[in-house]
């Protein structure tokens, strides 16, 4: 009896579309639990708060300085920075309660321009 010369490994991956592009998604037990909240949204909020703290502390003087340091465009940095001004209730529901937003990242950035009382409905849908 001879040993097989090849070995087959099965990894249960799923292919999903994100922004129109296929993305390979690993099994849920291999990925940290974000409670259903898109990890890109969580990272974007973290970046926005980091940049806000840098601006408020005087570490950087302008959004252009942030854009240069992060190697991103000035408009992108400005748009993303808006996430640091989301309503406290929205941030609490996204980051602590891990409620899944009904809005995409682009819509979340647009919702940051709304008054705080209107943001929960814009982010999480009609409740």
Beta-bridge partners for 17: 22
pLDDT over 80 at 27, yes or no: no
Answer for the pair 22, 16: CB distance below 8 angstroms, yes or no: yes
pTM: 0.70
Q: What's the mean pLDDT in 31-50?
A: 80
Owning domain of residue 91: 33-124
Domain-embedded: residue 3: no
Q: Whole-angstrom Cα distance, residue 109 to residue 14? A: 28
pLDDT score at 30: 62
Domain-embedded: residue 73: yes
Domain-embedded: residue 68: yes
Domain-embedded: residue 28: no
Percent of the chain with pLDDT over 90: 54
pLDDT over 90 at 118, yes or no: yes
Q: What's the mean pLDDT in 3-27?
A: 75
């Amino acid at each position: 009896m001879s040993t097989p010369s090849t070995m087959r490994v099965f990894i249960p991956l799923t292919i999903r579309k994100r922004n129109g592009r296929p993305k390979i998604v690993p099994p849920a037990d291999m990925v940290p639990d974000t409670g259903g909240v898109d990890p890109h949204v969580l990272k974007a909020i973290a970046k926005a708060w980091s940049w806000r703290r840098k601006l408020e502390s005087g570490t950087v003087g302008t959004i252009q300085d942030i854009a240069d340091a992060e190697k991103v465009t000035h408009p992108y940095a400005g748009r993303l920075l808006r996430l640091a001004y989301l309503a406290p209730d929205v941030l609490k529901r996204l980051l602590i309660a891990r409620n899944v937003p009904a809005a995409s990242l682009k819509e979340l950035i647009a919702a940051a321009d709304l008054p705080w009382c209107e943001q929960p409905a814009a982010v999480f849908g009609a409740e």
